[in-house]
Amino acid sequence: MKKTASEIYSECGEAFTLIGIEGKQDVEVNDIAAWENAGQGDLVVVPDEESLNAVLDKKAAVIVVPVGLAGKCAAVTDTAAIITSNNPNLGHALLKQKYGDYDYTNTGWDPVHPSAVIHKSATVASDALIGPGVVISEGANIGKGCNIMANVVIERDACIGDNVRIHPAAIIGWECQIGNDCLILSQAVLGSEGYGYAQDGKFNHYRVPQTGNVIIGDRVTIGASNTIDRGTHGPTIIGNGTIFDNLCHVAHNVKIGENCAIIAGFLCAGSTVLGDRIVASGQTMIKDHLSICSDTIFVHRAGIIKDVTEPGTYAGSPILPMKDYVVSNAIYKDLGSIRKKLMEIENEVRPFLEQMELKDL
């Protein structure tokens, strides 16, 4: 890395959430490190006062702190630079992208590997990197600055935007579209056959051809081993800025809005529509043909079986609003003792009930 604190601050500034610098500004930075493992020459980003106290004696070169904590760094300003940030978590992400990311362009071979198979009708930007064993089919289009890594298959008439990185063994199905600045991780399958079948009177299955496609917006991340099915007639759509963890499945005709965060194990059945800024924690499952409004959060293995029309946090299966879920959970853990108490009450009142029945006779 070999940058001074003042160089980093001048190169990044407010665009990287950095709003002030003090202390030893000519100190040299060798690397970016987690605050827990900070050492001499490192740049570290601390989110709070507790983490700051943990790094003050570790001889870090640059400490990026939240607004309001710079004054607590006086003991180290002779040896370290203190940079303030109005969003340290975002600052950390941007600094790591600029100075600490892995260089995926350093492949060690020619820009287009000789083992790649590229159809003569395909269009590939001159600066794209095409790895070993890649297959690019008839009519496909690969945009500027793309990095298509080993053994990726891009099928007929698929369109890949600019600055897209596709990791090894991913498959982009025919006529699918990927926007700009996307990240597709290993073994993801975009445009897999949607699960559409009809049955006769003997329950034999008849495939319904899935002739739609998948449309991925800009700045989307598709995690490893994700599957996103193509639509039956129209597209399956993933909106701009949405990010998927690993091992997620999106069925045919689903539409997911912008800037959603989808965590591992997510399963969404067909033709459901999700709004914007939805957070679905691990193993969230959504039934088919539902509508989920924007600004909702699903936690604790959420199971969604009906439309969600009000923003908020929901938990459990079937989902409950968080305040109801907390009450329900508190009752659930005491069900054994509640049952025992009810049985005791039943035994106490049974003689009286029996006497009342005899009198009625």
Would you state the pLDDT for residue 264?
Answer: 97
Would you state the pLDDT for residue 175?
Answer: 98
Could you check whether 3-99 and 117-324 share the same CATH topology?
no
What are the DSSP E strand ranges found in 86-196?
117-118, 123-124, 129-130, 135-136, 141-142, 147-148, 153-154, 159-160, 165-166, 171-172, 177-178, 183-184, 189-192
Share of the chain above pLDDT 70, in %: 99
What is the b/e burial string over 241-279, where b = at least 16 CB atoms within 10 angstroms of the residue's CB?
Answer: bbbbbbbbbbbbbbbbbbbbbbbbbbbbbbbbbbbbbbb
Average pLDDT score over residue span 197-212: 97
* Class at the top of the CATH hierarchy for domain 117-324: mainly beta
Average pLDDT score over residue span 173-192: 98
Q: What angle do CA 308, 313, 315 make, to 5 degrees?
A: 85
Beta bridge partners of 261: 243, 279
How would residue 78 be classed by pLDDT, with cut points 50, 70 and 90? very high
Write out the catalytic residue numbers.
Answer: 252
Residue 83 CA to residue 100 CA, distance in Å, equals 18
Residue 226 CA to residue 222 CA, distance in Å, equals 7
Q: Is the pLDDT of residue 296 over 50?
A: yes
Q: Where are the domains of the chain?
A: 3-99, 117-324
Would you state the pLDDT for residue 359?
Answer: 59
Residue 88 CA to residue 67 CA, distance in Å, equals 9
Of the CATH numbers 3.60.15.10, 3.40.190.10, 3.40.1390.10, 3.90.550.10, which one belongs to the domain with range 3-99?
3.40.1390.10
Share of the chain above pLDDT 90, in %: 89
The whole-chain average pLDDT of the chain stands at 95
Return the closest-CA partner of residue 5 out of 95, 69, 93: 95
This prediction's pTM: 0.89
Residue 82 CA to residue 196 CA, distance in Å, equals 58
pLDDT in tens, 97-108: 999 999 999 999
How would residue 115 be classed by pLDDT, with cut points 50, 70 and 90? very high
φ, ψ of residue 233 to 5 degrees: the values are: -120, -55
- Cα 60–chain centre separation: 31
Asked if residue 72 lies in contact with residue 81, where contact means CB atoms within 8 angstroms, the answer is no
Q: Is the pLDDT of residue 85 over 70?
A: yes
Could you please report the per-residue DSSP string of 51-69?
HHHHHTTTT-SEEEEETT-
What tokens does 321 get?
């609003």
Would you state the pLDDT for residue 358?
Answer: 59
Q: What angle do CA 176, 178, 179 make, to 5 degrees?
A: 145
pLDDT in tens, 35-63: 999 999 999 999 999 999 999 999 999 99
